[in-house]
Structure 1
Amino acid sequence: MGDAYTSASTLELAAAHDGFHKNLDDDGREKRTGTFVTASAHIITAVIGSGVLSLAWAIAQLGWVAGPAVLMAFSFITYFTSTLLADSYRSPHPVSGNRNYTYMDVVRANLGGKKVQLCGIAQYVNLVGVTIGYTITASISMVAVKKSNCYHWEGHEASCKVSKYPYMMIFAAIQIVLSQIPDFHKLSWLSILAAVMSFAYSSIGLGLSIAKVVIGHAAHTNLTGVQVGIDVSAQDKVWRTFQAIGDIAFAYAYSTVLIEIQDTLKSYPPENKVMKKASLAGVSTTTIFYVLCGCVGYAAFGNEAPGNFLTGFGFYEPFWLIDFANVCIAVHLIGAYQVFCQPLFGFFEIKCRERWPQSRFITAEHIVNLPFYGEYYVNMFRVVWRTAYVIVTALIAMIFPFFNSFLGLIGAGSFYPLTVYFPIEMYIARAKIQRFSFTWVWLKILSWVCLVVSLVAAIGSVQGLLADVKKYKPFQTE
């Protein structure tokens, strides 16, 4: 009897042990459930920002020849370097090697040295800048809904002044709640919703542009874009060209969160193969929308294309459709904010756990039963620090509402190292490419060209930033 009881207990323990291991990956971490669909959704959410609606302005600065050519060039560069980065997720072998959970881990495993710190600075400064910029942009979309209704009922010449600050607070309150999602692995549903929203407002902007062209309201366009002496001065033409190239280059950059996205994928099929397919799907989808929205938008508005033809009121009617599109932009940015801040949250929390492993405040997880959800693990440090982060980014957005001008500069500092330099250097090191071989030379040329583009974009961003500072009035109602 005792032996039978012992055997039964042993079997139960073994079964429980097997069940426990079924919920873990090969390295003892929680089993990942990400798929091609969820990775594609994360990429589309990260890449297709509300900036897609400003591409008509970018094409207007470059013209019919250079505009689409620059769009296509950066789509190819982004996809190519993303495939190199995807192969670096595991090391030393891209399939059987050890996992690298963050971009910094990848650089540490393949390059090491001070380049790890350079990567961390470029990545996390960019993430902070993007979250502040999204707070501003989302509030602009919310304000556009209010103004759209005002213009509809009071006429297009009405002042319709609306403050964006209450909407920044609403956006921050939503982010405080969503920021309690424990990690990137629990974010798939939000990314899928955000990706659907990005398709919705991009399609609305595209449809309205097509309608304007079809009914014969197309505007004046040029092969070389805005004309010197007619639309702009020669100096403004140069600055705008720099800014347009920068806008397009950074509109494709999602390398900041690529490794974190790849770390959500199941271990089989191999993560690098799935990630390459997801990158192809994400970049291809993005490019189609970018070319259509940029080119058709330019055809509709010509050289006077607004910076954003939904929030900048390139269209006024039908007002209800403009309202819906701007709501979609706000919802998309709610999800995109989380895609960009979750890697930052994870990095800071891991560092704190390593620094103070004995602190119950930092390490303890408390179980709370939530209606319609079940067990939810609450960590007090996570609640306090993430809430504080969202509040601080919202305050910075309120104090410096022209912070979007900083994003071009921050992007210039992150696009080259994160999207181009590190993926290429890690591939050269991993594949042991000989110096001055054909492959080494053309990879270096690609890297240097992208460095020049980043520097050009940085110059244009600084000029735009100085112009914003000159006309800055704190807490002004628009």
Structure 2
Amino acid sequence: MGTEAPSRTSNNELDTRTAKEKAIDDWLPITSSRNAKWWYSAFHNVTAMVGAGVLSLPFAMSELGWGPGVAVLVISWVVTLYTLWQMVEMHEMVPGKRFDRYHELGQHAFGEKLGLWIVVPQQLIVEVGVNIVYMVTGGKSLKKFHDLVCGKNSTTGVFSNKSCHNIRQTYFIMIFASVHFVLSHLPNFNSISGVSLAAAVMSLSYSTIAWATSLHKGVVENVEYGYKATTKVGTVFNFFSALGDVAFAYAGHNVVLEIQATIPSTPEKPSKGPMWKGVIVAYIVVALCYFPVALIGYYTFGNTVEDNILLTLENPTWLIAMANLFVVIHVIGSYQIYAMPVFDMIETVLVKKLNFKPSFWLRFISRNTYVAFTMFIGMMIPFFGGLLGFFGGFAFAPTTYFLPCIMWLSIYKPKKFSLSWITNWICIILGVMLMIVSPIGGLRQIILSAKDYKLFS
């Protein structure tokens, strides 16, 4: 399953294209640079996965309970590692051709038109959804940092530093967005590798702070591990929403082919080698972040934990303030990782379909418009927990848990009841169940949050 041509011309179709078409491919974000190292794959994948999701895992545990919670975490880790391996393998399954984008693999598996309609809407929902949630996360974490530094009393709302004033979360989301109006003009994945590395380091740092501080704090007085909801209906809906939270935490699949596209490939050394090496390192880091935060956070606070564990922790103030700042730096990198494939789609349509000339101004206007859109939506509906549950189930479950398995069955056609056939069908059944139930819980949570919310508060 190697590939027959190196570097930028690894896709044989490029050889038949005009100079203009080659120039366009060299300009588009995904195909413009193919000199990434294996460790780029590692920190891009860490940045893509360990994000807002890890902070909600103790809250998800409080809605799942000990037994189901641990089981869902472990199963998700194993299933998503397996489906990620499938995608890495399928990137160069056709000799001489590379599937540089998720939808290109979908088109190969399901047909030119159907593949596009199956993959693109779901991938866009995931990537745009993540960017909106990260706008909210960045704004919330900035506000928390500001309030901690200013010595805000969580009970009275009074600042110990008299020069400080209460600032709306909306403004902090705008401050967070202002960074992206600059960073979004970095041309491709390799150009954001420095931002991504910083983000990956930050994710490990704030995850460690979250569980270590929880452990140091010790179990809170009168801790309860029972379900928070007072009714059976509420408990069931919360359980569904928590499944979406966990699904949201494993979202790297939506950008994995685009990341692999940046790695050079030859028949002797296909890109799947270094890519898989990076993925293994990334998944070890994911385990080191997810499991301690989820289990220790829930053990410490029980069902009183908030949907972002750093909002639950107050002391030591300087450490929690620093952790919130780390979150901000991390979600800056994560936003860029998920925005890059969206930029690629937008620019492909503008240049190839609408025949705009590739230029700085085209990129400037289209990318700024996208950043402004995600900022505006984030300011309107900052329901962090509900958004995680809703997006996690609605789109992350298909693209992460079972779409790679369907593609694998469609392309490789393993023998019925073989190990590969059974494994893929188990993943598909689990993923479809997740896709059906978790958006129901997430949507209910959004509706409940909306009751007490004023627009642009």
Q: State the partner residue of 1:14.
A: none
Are residue 220 (structure 1) and residue 223 (structure 2) matched?
Answer: yes
Equivalent position to 1:185, from 171, 180, 190: 190
Contact 1:33 1:266 in 2 (8 A): yes
Q: State the partner residue of 1:99.
A: 98
Q: Which amino acid aligns with 2:318?
A: W
In the TM superposition, residue 405 of structure 1 has moved relative to its aligned partner by: 2.7
In the TM superposition, residue 303 of structure 1 has moved relative to its aligned partner by: 2.4
Equivalent position to 1:363, from 358, 365, 379: 358
Q: State the SS of the aligned residue for 1:98.
A: coil
Q: State the partner residue of 1:5.
A: none
Contact 2:248 2:391 in 1 (8 A): no
Contact 1:119 1:417 in 2 (8 A): no
RMSD across aligned C-alpha pairs, in angstroms? 2.3
Q: State the SS of the aligned residue for 1:32.
A: coil
Separation in 2 of the partners of 1:120 and 1:50? 23
Separation in 1 of the partners of 2:326 and 2:129? 22
Q: State the SS of the aligned residue for 2:309.
A: coil
Contact 2:385 2:442 in 1 (8 A): no
In the TM superposition, residue 278 of structure 1 has moved relative to its aligned partner by: 2.0
Equivalent position to 1:80, from 75, 79, 82: 82
Q: Which amino acid aligns with 1:108?
A: Q
In the TM superposition, residue 435 of structure 1 has moved relative to its aligned partner by: 4.6
**CA 259–475 in structure 1, closer or farther in 2 if over 3 Å, else same:** same
Q: State the partner residue of 2:110.
A: 111
In the TM superposition, residue 155 of structure 1 has moved relative to its aligned partner by: 3.9
In the TM superposition, residue 381 of structure 1 has moved relative to its aligned partner by: 0.3
Separation in 2 of the partners of 1:43 and 1:442? 24
Are residue 300 (structure 1) and residue 300 (structure 2) matched?
Answer: yes
**CA 261–390 in structure 1, closer or farther in 2 if over 3 Å, else same:** same
Instruction: Please list the CA deviations of residues 286-338 of structure 1 after superposition, one character each: whole Å capped at 9, or x if unmatched.
Output: 1232110111111211222222221x2x2222211111111110111111110
Q: 1:36-435 counterparts in 2 under 5 A?
A: 36-92=38-94, 96-112=95-111, 113-150=113-150, 152=151, 155-160=153-158, 161-213=166-218, 217=220, 220-221=223-224, 225-227=225-227, 232-267=230-265, 269-310=269-310, 312=311, 314-357=312-355, 359=356, 362-364=357-359, 379-402=360-383, 405-435=386-416
In the TM superposition, residue 23 of structure 1 has moved relative to its aligned partner by: 8.1
Identity of aligned residues (%): 29
Instruction: State the TM-score, normalized to the length of structure 1.
Output: 0.83
In the TM superposition, residue 114 of structure 1 has moved relative to its aligned partner by: 1.3
Q: State the SS of the aligned residue for 1:172.
A: helix
Are residue 461 (structure 1) and residue 442 (structure 2) matched?
Answer: yes
Separation in 2 of the partners of 1:251 and 1:428? 25
Which structure has the greater CA radius of gyration?
1
Q: State the SS of the aligned residue for 1:39.
A: helix
In the TM superposition, residue 167 of structure 1 has moved relative to its aligned partner by: 1.5
Contact 2:91 2:272 in 1 (8 A): yes
Separation in 2 of the partners of 1:252 and 1:218? 33
Contact 1:408 1:461 in 2 (8 A): yes
Separation in 1 of the partners of 2:341 and 2:391? 17
Contact 1:25 1:32 in 2 (8 A): no
**CA 122–23 in structure 1, closer or farther in 2 if over 3 Å, else same:** closer
**CA 438–200 in structure 1, closer or farther in 2 if over 3 Å, else same:** closer
- More deviation, 386-395/107-116: 107-116
| Runs of 5+ consecutive residues of structure 2 not aligned to the other structure | 15-25, 27-31, 159-165
| Runs of 5+ consecutive residues of structure 1 not aligned to the other structure | 1-20, 365-378
Contact 1:33 1:264 in 2 (8 A): yes
Separation in 2 of the partners of 1:395 and 1:349? 21
Q: State the SS of the aligned residue for 1:306.
A: coil
Contact 2:53 2:388 in 1 (8 A): no
Instruction: Please list the CA deviations of residues 85-128 of structure 1 after superposition, one character each: whole Å capped at 9, or x if unmatched.
Output: 11111242xxx430112101111123214132120000012211
Q: Which amino acid aligns with 2:361?
A: M
**CA 192–25 in structure 1, closer or farther in 2 if over 3 Å, else same:** farther
Q: State the partner residue of 1:8.
A: none
Contact 1:36 1:278 in 2 (8 A): yes
Q: Which amino acid aligns with 2:358?
A: T
**CA 407–70 in structure 1, closer or farther in 2 if over 3 Å, else same:** closer
**CA 192–64 in structure 1, closer or farther in 2 if over 3 Å, else same:** same
- More deviation, 396-405/243-252: 396-405
**CA 43–471 in structure 1, closer or farther in 2 if over 3 Å, else same:** same
In the TM superposition, residue 442 of structure 1 has moved relative to its aligned partner by: 4.1
Q: 1:4-19 counterparts in 2 under 5 A?
A: none
